[in-house]
Chains A and B, each alone.
Chain A
Amino acid sequence: MGVVPTTTSSASVSSSAPSQRSLTLRKSLTALGFAVVMAICWRAAEVHPVELFSADTAAGLWKFLSGLFPPDLSASFLRTVLKATGQTLATAVAATILSIVMGLPLGILASATLWRRGILVEGARRGPGFFILSGLSSLTRALLGFIRAVPDILWAILFVTMVGLGSLAGTLALAVAYSGLVGRVYSDVFDTTDPRPLEALQSTGASRLQVFMRGVWPQALPNLIGYTLYSFECCVRAASVLGLVGAGGIGYEIGISMRLFEYGQGLTLILAFIGLLVLIDVASRRLRALSNRGAAKPRVGRRSQLRWILLTLAVVAGAGASFYFSGFTPEVFEENNVLKHATHFIGGMFPLEMGLGFISKLSGLLLQTFAIAFLGTLIGVCFGSVIALPATASLIFLEPDSTGHHGIAERSLRWLGFWVARLILNLLRAIPELLWVLVCILAIGIGPFAGTIAIGLHTAGALGKLYAEAMEEVPRRPIEALYAVGARPLQVFFRGIWPQAKPILRNYTLLRWESNLRVSTILGLVGGGGLGQAIYNNIQLGFYDRVATMILLIYALVVASDWFGHRLRASDMKNYMTLPPA
């Protein structure tokens, strides 16, 4: 840390002339390739910049923006909002509990340390028992990978088809999607525990499960709690969005109000959504602090034992209520004939549709999906970095103890610019891509262009915030030195901040690109083009075999992009040691 990394390019500049020529050649080839990709994506994503400035767009946007105000705060609607918010929260809680119940055993089974390699299995006889267990463990890991690769909203639409509209579908979808995530992360946490105490435990004659309970689990617990809280936060976010495809909760109400052009109601719902997120954020921060304190002193007195019992009762009651409100009522299962629908749906998926005509149509859709992600990321990078500059405190404000100061007018102007930029970034980021799609549709109509813009807006917020934070966290010394010699802010940026922050920004951008590729596969479920649109249509038409093929395609896409991203970042890691947060 603190050292400006030497990049490979600066190393080759200093070498002989021919290599410099080949470098220029490579640079121009890269530029050419980029232009070609741009052109192809431009066409595939049906980009029409002119449309953005047409009268229709302006009218649509104006109608939307003016419709937002005032937000609908009538008592009857507030009751609806409250119910929807409660349902979303209940869905998230129930889904998190279910995902732990399913993910934990899967995670234990998928753990390599316990069943496949390392000191715990070195001494095992390589008999059928060992091969069955290690095979099962590998299979489980692959299954978790598959569950994880299919986006949660896709699970939602599959469950909506199986069990009908409503929050039950959402809960089941999130439970499945997050069990993949939870299982995978748990097994990774298990695999990173210190193996030496495990070896010692095994040598006492403990069985594998006993070693797990007394050796792996206590070591892993703090990480498991931290990750589970994080996954719950993500689950709340997801639960709010899933409703857009009919899975109940806030999203469902937002979808309805948009369709009825009741934008005032939409704004109220979005405010409720943001309020819920803030609430969850505060709650989980307190829980985290609590669990840290709990770990510090494990002893329990009599008084606090009573408190624990009360707490447990409250948790159980809360969980029960969550299940009830998230749609797990006995009637649902009787009325909807869930099992029959589900078998019909799953039966319809096989055999997969592999006809040549369909496959060739798929490749066109795949290109479109890729194009949406590519251009969307590009838009996000451009806007994000522009807004990030005024949102970077170290560029805008002087150090409190530095020499020289701004006048009062300039200071308040800078202050205003900073907070407006932060506000815009947070707003762009807080609203999920799928909601942005709905807004974009209002302005420019259904299609891949709307999806592209939606991704661009959300990415601008997400990346802009990360960019600003990364630039603020750059080591201070070189920057102070530059200010000391009288450099202006822009000079400080190019000479002090940019070179230091570049690798981190690059990593953030790559990660965001990967996640955008995932998202672009499902934007179509609400009208944003790409593969999702085809999935939606085929589900409506009952061509489940085609749906199954497309899900497999998404899986392949995600695996491939993970692999590339991993390799890109791995080669980066050789030069830099900074890892972005997950």
Chain B
Amino acid sequence: MTYSVESVTKFYRQGHARVRALNGINLKFAPGEHVALLGHSGAGKSTLFRLLNATIRPSGGAVLFEGCDVGGMSGAEVRGMRRRIGTIYQQHNLVPSLTALENTLCGGLGRWSLAHTIRGIFRPHKSDMEKALNALESVGLADKRQARADELSGGQQQRVAIARALMQDPEVILADEPVASLDPGLADEIISLLTRLAAGSRRTLVISLHTVGIALERFPRAVSLRLGSVEFDGPSSEVHGERLRNLYAGGNLVSEQPTHGSGSHNNFKRIS
């Protein structure tokens, strides 16, 4: 399974203005590869993730999944592809009024028929239940399965989101700043969890991080974005000295670009 983006551009319309978020990006991910995505706030990381799981469509270029252009897929084919890609967002992954277990079970939605889904709301199928409990177990939250998602702490919520991704059992895991809202100790723990779980079953893992140290230490390959273009793509060991300093030097350049991003799209929270 190969996964790539080819000269992808993305414009957002904001009123009459057009904001360029990505500017002709080329990337290829090999099966089982672990990649860290770096870049200043507003560089286009979230946009790239949304393109990769077909939540938004590129303005130009193509996202290829197993050689198929995602833009040409039918609705059912897109869902089939999304089922094989698990996404973990920075925050607000979970439906707040459902329990941890119910949220975890949602990972199976892509495989289920509508009838199975409805039945599952009232009485989840035994095998689904087992899988979900296993997933919760492996993120260490089995005892919290009946707690509502909005009663969990930020770190626990993130772990439930990972459990849901495990329930989904995808070939690719996309994680968009999964630890940006957590304290450093917890962040480290969650990243270890993710890399361990991904390595265990040879899943591709693409993760965006603001903590450069961890990224370079844990991930063999680093990709850095800057103002919507790929600035560096290569082994993490080659990121040092000048390059390392440049990585975030452009952070202040964001203001050159129109930065009227709304809500979650444009957050400046960062772990130092």
Contacts and interface: CB of A to CB of B under 8 A. Distances in A.
Interface of A: 119, 122-125, 129, 194, 196-197, 199-207, 209-210, 213-215, 218-219, 221-222, 295, 298-299
A203 B95 contact: no
Contacts of A204: 82-83, 86-87, 106-107, 109-110, 164, 168
Given A125-B71, A125-B74, A199 B95 contact: no
A214 B92 CA distance: 15
A222 B148 CA distance: 15
Given A123-B54, A210-B117, A214-B106, A203 B97 contact: no
B49 to A, nearest CB: 9
27 contacts: A123-B50, A123-B56, A124-B75, A196-B91, A197-B93, A197-B95, A197-B96, A200-B92, A202-B55, A203-B86, A204-B109, A204-B168, A205-B80, A205-B81, A205-B83, A205-B84, A206-B79, A206-B110, A207-B79, A207-B109, A210-B114, A214-B95, A214-B102, A214-B106, A214-B109, A218-B98, A219-B97
A221 B97 CA distance: 9
Given A122-B56, A214-B95, A200 B87 contact: yes
Contacts of B78: 123, 125
Given A203-B85, A206-B106, A210-B117, A196 B73 contact: no
A196 B92 contact: yes
Contacts of B148: 298
Interface of B: 50, 53-57, 71-75, 78-87, 89, 91-99, 102, 106-107, 109-112, 114, 117-118, 121, 146, 148, 161, 164, 168, 264
Given A129-B75, A214-B106, 13 more contacts: A123-B78, A196-B264, A197-B93, A197-B96, A200-B92, A201-B106, A201-B109, A204-B164, A204-B168, A205-B80, A218-B97, A219-B95, A298-B148
Contacts of B112: 210
Contacts of B50: 123
Nearest to B90: A196
A136 to B, nearest CB: 16
B34 to A, nearest CB: 20
B95 A215 contact: yes
Contacts of A125: 57, 71-75, 78
B95 A205 contact: no
A219 B150 CA distance: 11
A196 B106 contact: no
B73 to A, nearest CB: 7
Contacts of B83: 204-205
Given A123-B55, A204-B164, A218-B98, A197 B92 contact: yes
A219 B149 CA distance: 12
B95 A218 contact: yes
Most buried by B among A201, A205, A210: A205
Contacts of A205: 79-84, 109-111, 168
Contacts of A129: 75
B237 to A, nearest CB: 32
B114 A207 contact: yes
A299 B146 contact: yes
A139 to B, nearest CB: 21
A123 B56 CA distance: 4
B110 A213 contact: no
Contacts of A202: 55, 82
Nearest to B167: A204
Nearest to B83: A205
Given A202-B82, A205-B80, A207-B79, A122 B92 contact: no
B98 to A, nearest CB: 5
A119 B49 CA distance: 13
Contacts of B161: 200
Nearest to A296: B148
Contacts of A201: 95, 106, 109
Nearest to B52: A203
A124 B83 CA distance: 16
B109 A206 contact: yes
A538 to B, nearest CB: 48
B97 A199 contact: no
Contact of A122 (B55, B71, B107, B168): B55
A215 B50 CA distance: 19
Contact of B82 (A203, A215, A298, A299): A203
Nearest to B174: A203
Nearest to B121: A213
A221 B98 CA distance: 11
